Amino acid sequence: LAYSKEETKAHDYVKKVLKALSLETKVDSFGNLHGRMEGNGMPIIIGSHLDTVKNGGRYDGSAGIVSGLEVIRCIKESKIKFKHPVELIVFRGEESRRFGKPSLGSRLLTGLISKNDLDRLKDNDATLRKAIRDCGIHLGGSTLNSAKAYLELHIEQGDILDKKKIQIGIVTGIASSVRYKITVYGRKGHSGTTPMNSRRDAVDGASEMILAREKILMAEHKKGRATVATVGIINVPSGSINVISGKVEFYLDLRDIDIKNRDETEKLILKTFDRIAKKRKLQLKYGLLERTMPVELKRDVQGLIENSCKKLKIKHIFMPSGASHDAIYFSYKGIPTG
């Protein structure tokens, strides 16, 4: 988990590996671990993370760290004189599971997170600020504003490459996301004494909404759109086997590389939810958690990766990434990213 003792132990292990490669190491004021091979000018950054989630994919995050270490090891062993410094950054808190917002370490480093978020984002009663301090990290350092380039290798976390029997996907852009916490309010009642035709069951309403979301997205898919929407968390506070639920919370994650398609689908989904709530005499509360912009990655960086694939005779395709990555925040800063 982000900013946990376990994550700290993983970072400590990688720090030993960095020192074994005779790299200059440091932990920045946001908890990210840096290993730097010196050179002149702006650094070429290789980045990834060590935290993950269940079923997030084998080698999620760690593949990027290992590949970065191997790049630096090969450069040093081959005694190649590199013009630019090469810096490996191991980011904290890429996953959103603990605080509901992804890429905390990279956002903090690039200055793309508000100070309010440090106290607003919570895991139970622990704020993000407290979690960072509990790891022995002292907030307040300078942010990164420039680099020669940012590179990140990551597992696909999907099955497109596997189905096509292709080894490498060269990422053209990273999808934007919209996330909501949606609360459905109904009326509690006894499960045995309340007739079916007089119920205002929040679970039934939420269930219809979630299935309507699937129907909408399947129709979008048939139109050739790549929009996806997921409900990954459903809560029934104070739920009981013999009580009609008066309140349900669920979380909606909506993504697309095409922001126009995403926004159109978002409006259709929310309009459908409102219609279902009105029909069932339920109330809805929408809590917008996040709205990000998609990024188009630099074509010259894509070209360099393509040339390497051709030289090594590696099968490859160009494809967008539906998953968010630390790379997106470096692209937001105008740093060439791939």
Is domain 5-157+323-332 classified as CATH 1.10.3720.10? no
**pLDDT for position 125:** 82
Q: Tokens 């020669």 belong to which residue?
A: 148
Whole-angstrom CA distances from 262 to 142, 172, 173, 208 are 35, 18, 15, 21
Cα torsion angle, 108, 110, 111, 113, sign: negative
**Annotated domain spans of the chain:** 5-157+323-332, 176-291
Q: Is 313 exposed, middle or buried (0-12, 13-18, 19+ CB in 10 A)?
A: exposed
**E-state strands within the chain:** 24-27, 33-37, 44-49, 86-91, 122-123, 126-127, 149-151, 168-174, 176-185, 189-190, 228-235, 243-244, 247-256, 283-291, 295-296, 316-321
For 176-291, give the CATH class.
alpha beta
Local mean pLDDT, 10-residue blocks, the chain (338 residues) = 92 96 94 93 95 84 95 91 92 87 91 86 88 89 90 92 96 94 97 96 98 98 95 94 97 96 97 99 96 92 97 96 91 94
Phi then psi for residue 34, to 5 deg, are -120, 135
Nearest to 15 by CA among 31, 29, 2: 31
